[in-house]
Structure 1
């Protein structure tokens, strides 16, 4: 025996009994016969029968009606030994048809037994009834009963395996779809935890963590970050509490990182995934019931898909963050040129998203609106500084030049086929239109103005009232809201005004979160 073999052997300490194997549930057998002696003899003869490490549990019905009631409350009957003649000459045949057609039970194996074969000829019964075997009671010796039981239980077992495989495949497809639908890393990690348990059909607990490479987030280099956790490990989501990681979990994660691979046993799974960018993702799961070899194989396939999705999601999130930052920087640069508060574009984005959500827009459309709204005034890059920063009322010619920023913004942004920029072009063109048709540059009225244009138009006016400008001081909150309400049906879509006034606490929260950097808030 080699030293390597020695390592694999484990001995229980003296005096300690070995851990017993789990006892498997028995096969459920239903005997349906109006002769009590048939029940007694069958159970006595098959008392020591075993198949696949499982014994037998017998249920008894002495009429078709009694069997019908019993079967309606169970779905675990593997084999039905069914008499043909009971309360009527065809009671057994009628019950066999009802089991298949009305109860839609195609799993249970049905073996017809008859003492009067002439009343139900074998050829006719086998052809017209969905049964699995047909026997005369006189020929059912112990040896033949053993053959019947082995054949029936093998068939039942194989049907269960096929059904379980189909369910596992269905769960796998659903799980991967949920993962692909994730919008960010934390949602992704939470979906992984939810779907692993769903995939295997086991009660599970665990955590999903990653160690981010320097190129993606240098401030997290080399530090473990828990992205999601089930309730048992929820406290670990706080970075300062990572020291509380249980020893057995820490050892499992350390082993996976040291060996650069995942590992499994009956009750645990540690997944290890390293992306091309150098990010390491770790999945730790504990299962209440033992995970068999087939489930482990399914779990490994699932985790491989998780790794691919994680890599794509990292790239997608980095692109989205870059895109969002670029939009905000561009919008803020325009606002600062006009000497307006630097947080104006963030507030417009959040106010617009708030109104879009209140209206009932789809989640993806709300996010597009949040990203496009800061571009509403991009056309001001074509307006001279003398007009943008004039501390007095503009004359007619200057006002005409200022109005051109709506068209200029549309012309600039509409050159792109990107969805965010095209939406930005629409908003830039329409955010100064009015519900009563007295706006500019097109004189659109009512629902001729797109919903994004109406939403950003309201958000822009509200924020202008609540902000200091070179030509005016900010209004207090109540006065600004009163003015907006007075303009419902004139300047603004009345439904949007109502949605806004129903959410004033949320509006106040936006202003608390994004105050102007260089301005003192007005009293409210």
Structure 2
């Protein structure tokens, strides 16, 4: 591929897997050609198995509208001069100060560097990089994407750690309360996923036994989840997982066992004849011994705690 960004090859878009969400990138520029060239140049980009998904807007006003509605953008490639000479700078300031969005990585791009000197812009505005469009060769653009998206990924992991810790602290006050157990497992799961995977997509199920033949699932309730599955907590859900894998795990002799299918982890803990617990995490391709031990401990300890909480509740009815 030519070193110049303007001559990036026009290849087919990278295929996205169903279980690993792409990074969301917002392009804000009043020049249609910039949108086309940027998408062509980054067509095959991947980080941690995640590709890119682009949203294009052509003015700062349009960008304000979409940023007010969505908080999932990992990166914003932002033109300086649009409606006026400082539209991009004003949008960057609004995003950080009024919208309070500290997560999105903001990269200013300008075709008129004299309008906004780099040193002044970096010092005054909370942006992550500043580039002249003429200097953005293909290789420099790729380097920019890797550094910016890695920074976003790590910030997102820190936020997940904080969220999980908060839930654990709240839950610790009444550890034998069933509601508190849900909160505790939710908090631990959020921290585990942040530590072990970049996808932030996981669900923790309680399985209310199998049929007499031990090969057919009874109802499965999600008791904790991250990412897109959070809204399904408390529901009986089968369609998110490969039930054949779950049934195979159930037939094994070990009380704790797992399978990794594709990039999805299935871990099962058989607490009793009546209850099993299933941990589903997408975005994991391999685990080192320490990571496996952490997941086994999560399944073992939370399952036992749920069973104790249920016993405690029954005794106090």
Q: Give the TM-score band, short-chain normalised.
A: 0.5 to 0.7
**Aligned positions of 1:25-424 closer than 5 A:** 25-178=21-174, 180-182=175-177, 192=181, 195-196=184-185, 199-200=188-189, 202-206=202-206, 251=251, 255-256=254-255, 262-265=256-259, 266-270=265-269, 284-287=276-279, 289-290=281-282, 292=284, 297=294, 300-301=297-298, 303-304=300-301
C-alpha distance in structure 2 between counterparts of 1:143 and 1:113, whole Å: 16
Question: Conserved in 2, the CA contact under 8 Å of 1:81 and 1:111?
Answer: yes
Asked if the contact 2:80–2:108 (Cα under 8 Å) also holds between the matched residues in 1, the reply is yes
**Structure 2 gap ranges (5+):** 1-15, 191-201, 210-218, 223-245, 260-264
Q: Give me the CA root mean square deviation.
A: 4.0
**Structure 1 Cα separation of the partners of residues 34 and 23 of structure 2:** 19
Structure 1 Cα separation of the partners of residues 208 and 19 of structure 2: 33
Provide the aligned length of Structure 1 versus Structure 2: 246
Greater RCO, 1 or 2 (C-alpha within 8 Å, sep 6+): 2
Distance 1:287 1:301, change over 3 A: closer
TM normalised by structure 1 equals 0.40
Query: Counterparts of 1:231 and 1:111 in 2: how far apart (Å)?
Result: 43
Q: 1:32–1:82: 8 Å Cα contact kept in structure 2?
A: yes
TM superposition shift of 1:304? 4.0
Cα distance change, pair 83–285 in 1 and its aligned pair in 2 (3 A)? same
Question: Given that residues 279 and 299 in structure 2 are in contact (C-alpha distance below 8 angstroms), is that contact kept between their aligned partners in structure 1?
Answer: no
Distance in 1 (alpha carbons) for counterparts of 2:82 and 2:53: 23
> Does the aligned pair in 1 maintain the 2:95–2:101 contact within 8 Å?
yes
* 8 Å contact from structure 2 (residues 277, 303) kept in 1: no
Encode CA deviations 1:164-201: one digit per residue, 9 max, x unaligned. Answer: 222233333344444x243xxxx5xx864675366436
1:317-337 CA distance string (max 9 Å, x none): 8xxx9xxxxxxxxxxxxxxxx
Change (3 A) 1:248 1:51: closer
Structure 1 residue runs without a partner (length 5+): 1-19, 210-228, 233-245, 257-261, 273-279, 322-366, 368-524
Give the C-alpha shift of residue 32 in structure 1: 0.9
Checking the alignment, whether the CA contact within 8 Å between 1:196 and 1:299 is kept in structure 2 is: no
Q: Which has the higher strand share?
A: 2
CA distance in 1, matches of 2:292, 2:64: 35
Distance in 2 between residues matched to 1:32 and 1:309, nearest whole Å: 49
* Counterparts of 1:27 and 1:197, CA distance in 2: 24
Distance 2:298 2:19 in 1: 30
CA shift for structure 1 position 284: 2.0
1:107-130: CA deviation from partner (whole Å, max 9, x where unpaired)? 111111112222211111111110
Higher helix fraction (1 or 2): 1
**SS of alignment partner, residue 285 of structure 1:** strand
